Amino acid sequence: MRKRILELALKSGSSGAHLGGSLSMVEILVALYSVANISHDDSRDRVILSKGHGALALYTALELNGKMSKELVDTFETNGTHLFAHASRDVEHGIEFSGGSLGLGISYAVGVAIACKEKGLNNHVYVIVGDGECNEGLFWETLMTIKQFQLNNMTIIVDNNGLQADGFTNEIIDLSPMTDKLQAFGLKAIDVAGHDIEALMNVLSSKEETRPVAIVANTIKGKGVSFMENSAAWHHGVLNQKKFDKAMEELS
């Protein structure tokens, strides 16, 4: 998936791509699509990407899981494509939400979780947010709503990579200790190593009967590529051939 993310970023040319936050969430998506039911019918689980700039990782995960063809994913950011820098809703191909405006994805997920409950569906709603996104007041309003409606059919996954577009998250708005804050809002909050697939699968598989779950997945922005790791400059960046070759060599 990481190699595929780089290939697509290189194809995007001078437009560049959101690399850092896509590379940090690869294992999250691998684990998530290993436990989620991604069938086509209404009873499917919903995987909602609220941190919309992680779209490249989402496209590669959907390709890996047979929801998108390689030919379709290859159209990323080309003229006439439906695969943009931020994902646009396309349920047929596994995209449940049009991401971009941070904080809206988790709000949307709450509405979906309520609707699924009212329909009596035995499914689950997973929503991925970024730690920078958690600066939004809307995120905390949504948590209060989740608690109010006791949405035990919902799991929040925070890609806690410590960086956002403007720099280190703890220097902009320090959200630590994140698990304590989430717990205080009435959720079961779990810290997990965000690049450990087995650990992620274990926490994703364990559901609570009485309350929603929030998983704080501690990750590294730009994971796997030395010059991108822990660098806000690669939140969105342009890959040239030389940098691409170096990155692919490291991943090999």
pLDDT of residue 210: 83
Tokens 């940090």, residue located: 24
213 close to 205: Cβ distance less than 8 angstroms: no
pLDDT at 101: 87
* b/e map 38-75, b = 16+ CB within 10 Å: beeeeebbbbbbbbbbbbbbbbbbbbeeebbeeebbeb
Q: What is the pTM of this model?
A: 0.97
What is the greatest pairwise CA distance in the chain? Answer: 53
Q: Hey, what are 126's tokens?
A: 């997973």
- Tell me 14's DSSP state: G
pLDDT tens string, the chain, 252 residues long: the values are 999 999 999 999 999 999 999 999 999 999 999 999 999 899 999 999 999 999 999 999 999 999 999 999 999 999 999 999 999 999 999 999 998 889 999 999 999 999 999 999 999 999 999 999 999 999 999 999 999 999 999 999 999 999 999 999 999 999 999 999 999 999 999 999 999 999 999 999 987 888 899 999 999 999 999 999 999 999 999 999 999 999 999 999
Are 55 and 47 in contact by the 8 Å Cβ rule? The answer is no
